[in-house]
Amino acid sequence: MKNTKKTLEEIVDAMIGEPNHNPRDNCFRFFVNRYPNAVHDAFDFPGKYQKKLGLKILTDDNRELEMDCAQLIEPEGDITCKSTINVEHQTYPIKKKIDTIYDYKIGLIHQNNIPSNSIVMTNINMGGDYLLCNSHDQTFKLLINQVTIEKISKRLKILKDKVGNNYELSLDELMYIPYIAIFVDDNAKEIMKELSRIFSNIDQINPDLEKQLHQHLKNLIKFHFRDNDDECKEMLTMITKNLYENDYEGLTYKESLELQIKEQNLKIEQIIKQKDQQLEQKDLQIEQIREQNDQQMEQIEQLLQEIKYLKKLNSK
């Protein structure tokens, strides 16, 4: 670890300078695949979660595609049979994604031999709970999981009440943080300010999850406050302060992750070196045994020659 700790201001300045490509999609994909069961409930996915499925499929024309989310589910609510779901995060119009979503549906059916439900999760009002879409001369139902301001407000209130009363948040409830930060649209800046205050006051949380939430909340603050550097810096300082004071050690998340990887690589190199030394020792022992065997074989050969010579003398 570094001996000279950066100041909080230096850390925040470094965060502002980091690239921030497609933060909403990256956040969705991270949490839905790292914590699939909790996200399934927190994000209102249909059915009862069973397990996460692989994201890559091969189309009929041999194209490899990768989904945002694929899960195996059991009957619950409107889901009447064991099936799969593909959930695609979308905060822009869905029209150009229809053919791809249909390919995902067919790919999941072929891979699992059970029905598949196509779902788009969006903050856009599409006029209902589903759309009938046309793709490849076929019509299929696309379920709509719309994130409304009412759903966001409900989750924000739960977080605020529990944190304000020093109650521990469940993993499902902690997933409300990315839910809100990804999909908030109306009054986004004020809601993000409130969400940042809540996050900065959470006391009981797994340290790894805290850093993961901080990393993605940081990126989404930068997205929502991209037109106001001062407010952006204020929000980043707020969510980073506790981490910095506790054990953040003057590192950005990226630097911390790189350092962990470096330390892990050093440990792996040490293990490999030890194994190599053990193998060298084994090779040396094997070589010594071979030399001993060769010497014994020579002695046996000499003994056989002597016996042969003595037999020859006796025969005379």
pTM of the entire predicted model? 0.76
pLDDT of residue 7: 85
Per-residue pLDDT tens over the stretch 113-155: 999 999 999 999 988 999 999 998 899 999 999 999 999 999 9
Using pLDDT thresholds of 50, 70 and 90, give the confidence band for residue 33: very high
Contact 219, 232 (CB under 8 A): no
Give CA separation, 166 vs 67, 77, 156, 178, in Å: 38, 33, 15, 21
- What pLDDT score was predicted for residue 1? 43
Q: Give per-residue pLDDT as tens, 83-104.
A: 999 999 987 778 888 999 999 9
Q: What dihedral angle (degrees, nearest 10) is formed by the CA atoms of 52, 43, 95, 59?
A: 0
- pLDDT tens figures, 215-262: 999 999 999 999 999 999 999 999 998 887 765 454 455 555 555 565
Residue 89, SS3?
strand
The chain-wide mean pLDDT, for the chain, equals: 87
d(CA 163, CA 170): 11
Structural domain boundaries of the chain?
8-251, 258-316
d(CA 160, CA 172): 15
Residues 6+ apart with CB under 8 A from 72: 50, 51, 52, 53, 82, 83, 84, 112
Q: How confident is the model at residue 2 (pLDDT cuts 50, 70, 90)?
A: very low
> Which tens digit of pLDDT belongs to each residue from 211-224?
999 999 999 999 99
More confident residue, 263 or 205: 205
User: What pLDDT shows up at residue 254?
Assistant: 54
Percent of the chain with pLDDT over 90: 59
> Residue 59: which of 112, 108, 114 has the closest Cα?
108
